[in-house]
Amino acid sequence: MSSGRKLLIRGGRRIEGEIAVQGAKNSALPILAACTLCKGRCEIYNCPRLSDCDAACRILTSLGCACKREGNAVSVNSSAITSGEVSEKLMREMRSSIIFMGALLGRCGRCRMSFPGGCEIGSRPIDFHLEAFRRMGAKIHEEHGYIVCTAARLHGAKVSFPVPSVGATENVMLAAVLAEGVTEIHNAAREPEIRDLAGFLAACGARIDGAGTGTVRIEGVKSLGGCAYTVMPDRIAAATYLCCGAITRGEILLTHCDHGSLEPVASVLEQTGCSIYSFGNDSVYLNARKTLKAPDLIRTAPYPGFPTDAQPPIMALCTTLPGTTMFAETIFENRYRHVSELIRLGAKIKVEGQVAVVEGVNRLSGAELEAGDLRGGAAMVTAALFAEGTTKIGHTCYIDRGYEDIESCLKSVGADIRTV
Ligand code: UD1
């Protein structure tokens, strides 16, 4: 991935103000894929303007769906779907395009797509997805780097994952909603985005119980209609902006956010000494205008544990807190790619396998950095807000995959940030 754009950030300014949190990328993507299951028109609101969502829309168009975006609303009509095939080029644009597999299998009885392959944060296998589809009656084979799945009609099955997988849970839900009979997913992922996908599917006529718990039960129905649905707020973008507030010892009010799903991150921020209050249904206020200290241990885990996606920005914060923090990354094997870049700014971090030890320093100083993945890029932006002088961050296309106009958001709360 390459991009000529760079973010230029002059650090040292306190973040103060209000940010309206974008819609959740990790909800919008499976919901867009789910639209292929519906015969009527789906109106998706609060769909973030991100390159990954654009890639999902291109996939929908290539399948024969009518897909139109107006601002943050995307309308999808899948009644004339013509193909169950996703080209290699489109698969490469977005790793999570694998989420189309369950939906296409459910809708067309056949799908063909290239292996998503490894990616920047780890090998990310899809064996749980394929094994579950087999149990539901799909025949799967590989040809010339493509996976071909066929099933005249899928049937319900009992599926149990060795570890909770967000993508596999969603993919099986998508395959199961139109399958014959009942599907039960055991050791399902409990992430809030799974509840959101179930909410969308239920609005289209699907029968799903237990989404957001470890056991999800889906009773297949004959067909799904269209609906209007609003995507939940993005808890990782919210967590990132809270880290930006905290690292500049500032104050930030997030609106349009879901504080329940932010709890694992909010409790770590409270351990650092930040005050966090939630207001009404959808606002969270953070005050970091005080002496903060390093939390002892941050261990990533499936929800409701600490989210792996928030590990890089919170690590950026910890590099500036007095004391030592140990990180244990239990989800992905290559999730410390931002460490070498944070060290360039003067951070003190040692990595051994899945463990990273961060010793807080008083001072970071601006440098030239390169984002190597989405959340690692967000960590660099967070650290740059604290660093003295100017930090230039390249390969910002990674950041655009998950943050809707991060530059304007941060500028609006006082950051000195611009694109060159
Ligand atoms: C999703 C999120 C990603 C987040 C991750 C973990 C989306 C689009 N992406 O990714 O932002 O970081 O959840 O919260 O929602 N695994 C297997 N075999 C499989 C599937 C998964 O071994 O077939 C393993 C993975 O290697 C990983 C663990 O299961 O160690 C969890 O991964 P998973 O929850 O599937 O992540 P994604 O759905 O890819």
In angstroms, the CA 125 to CA 372 distance is 20
Question: What is the pTM (predicted TM-score) of this model?
Answer: 0.97
154 CB under 6 A from ligand 1?
A: no
In angstroms, the CA 160 to CA 71 distance is 39
Report strand pairing: 251-255 vs 215-219: unpaired
Distance (angstroms) between ligand 1 centre and the Cα of 399 equals: 19
Examine residue 221 and state whether it is found in any structural domain, yes or no: yes
56 CB under 6 A from ligand 1?
A: no
Specify whether the CB–CB gap between 194 and 201 falls below 8 A.
Answer: no
Distance (angstroms) between ligand 1 centre and the Cα of 166 equals: 5
Distance (angstroms) between ligand 1 centre and the Cα of 206 equals: 24
195 and 247 in a single domain? The answer is: no
Give the domain-ending residue among 210, 230, 250: 230
Atom 38, ligand 1: residue with shortest CA distance = 167
Examine residue 2 and state whether it is found in any structural domain, yes or no: no
18 and 34 in a single domain? The answer is: no
In angstroms, the CA 305 to CA 320 distance is 23
Give the domain-ending residue among 230, 245, 268: 230
Tell me the backbone φ, ψ of residue 300, rounded to 5 degrees.
Answer: -75, 150
Choose among 202, 198, 140, 120: nearest CA to 166.
198
Give the domain-ending residue among 230, 264, 290: 230
In angstroms, the CA 112 to CA 132 distance is 17
Examine residue 79 and state whether it is found in any structural domain, yes or no: yes
> What length does the chain have?
420
55 CB under 6 A from ligand 1?
A: no
Examine residue 1 and state whether it is found in any structural domain, yes or no: no
Distances in Å between the alpha carbon of 300 and those of 35, 139, 401?
31, 35, 22
255 and 369 in a single domain? The answer is: yes
Give helix 166-176 / helix 100-108 axis angle, nearest 10°.
10
157 and 193 in a single domain? The answer is: yes
Q: How many domains does the chain have?
A: 2
- How far does the chain reach from its first CA to its final CA, in angstroms? 18
Atom nearest to 52 CA in ligand 1 = 8
Q: Which of 234, 299, 331, 337 to mutate to test the pocket of ligand 1 (most atoms within 8 A of CB)?
A: 331
128 CB under 6 A from ligand 1?
A: yes
Atom nearest to 302 CA in ligand 1 = 14
Q: Which of 25, 124, 330 to mutate to test the pocket of ligand 1 (most atoms within 8 A of CB)?
A: 124
Work out the widest C-alpha separation in the chain, in whole angstroms: 63
253 and 194 in a single domain? The answer is: no
Examine residue 277 and state whether it is found in any structural domain, yes or no: yes
359 and 328 in a single domain? The answer is: yes
119 and 55 in a single domain? The answer is: yes
Domain residues for the domain of 102 are: 25-230
211 CB under 6 A from ligand 1?
A: no
109 and 194 in a single domain? The answer is: yes
Specify whether the CB–CB gap between 381 and 244 falls below 8 A.
Answer: yes
For residue 352, what are its two tokens?
Answer: 């051994």
Residue 34 CA to its chain's centroid (Å): 17
Distance (angstroms) between ligand 1 centre and the Cα of 302 equals: 9
pLDDT string in tens for the chain (420-residue length): 445 899 999 999 999 999 999 999 999 999 999 999 999 999 999 999 999 999 999 999 999 999 999 999 999 999 999 889 999 888 888 878 899 999 999 999 999 998 775 557 667 789 999 999 999 999 999 988 889 999 988 999 999 999 999 999 999 999 999 999 999 999 999 999 999 999 999 999 999 999 999 999 999 999 999 999 999 999 999 999 999 999 999 999 999 999 999 999 999 999 999 999 999 889 999 999 989 999 999 999 999 999 999 999 999 999 999 999 999 999 998 899 999 999 999 999 999 999 999 999 999 999 999 999 999 999 999 999 999 999 999 999 999 999 999 999 999 999 999 999
373 and 392 in a single domain? The answer is: yes
284 and 300 in a single domain? The answer is: yes
Atom 12, ligand 1: residue with shortest CA distance = 309
Specify whether the CB–CB gap between 14 and 250 falls below 8 A.
Answer: yes
Examine residue 154 and state whether it is found in any structural domain, yes or no: yes
308 and 205 in a single domain? The answer is: no
Examine residue 134 and state whether it is found in any structural domain, yes or no: yes
User: Per-residue b/e over 238-262, b at no fewer than 16 CB within 10 Å?
Assistant: bbbbbbbbbbbbbbbbbebbbbebb
129 CB under 6 A from ligand 1?
A: yes
The CATH number of residue 311's host domain is 3.65.10.10
Examine residue 386 and state whether it is found in any structural domain, yes or no: yes
168 CB under 6 A from ligand 1?
A: yes
162 and 264 in a single domain? The answer is: no
Degrees, nearest 5: CA angle 130-131-134:
85
166 CB under 6 A from ligand 1?
A: yes
Specify whether the CB–CB gap between 254 and 284 falls below 8 A.
Answer: yes
188 CB under 6 A from ligand 1?
A: no
For residue 121, what are its two tokens?
Answer: 């944060």
For residue 175, what are its two tokens?
Answer: 């395959």
Show which residues are catalytic. 119
Distance (angstroms) between ligand 1 centre and the Cα of 190 equals: 12
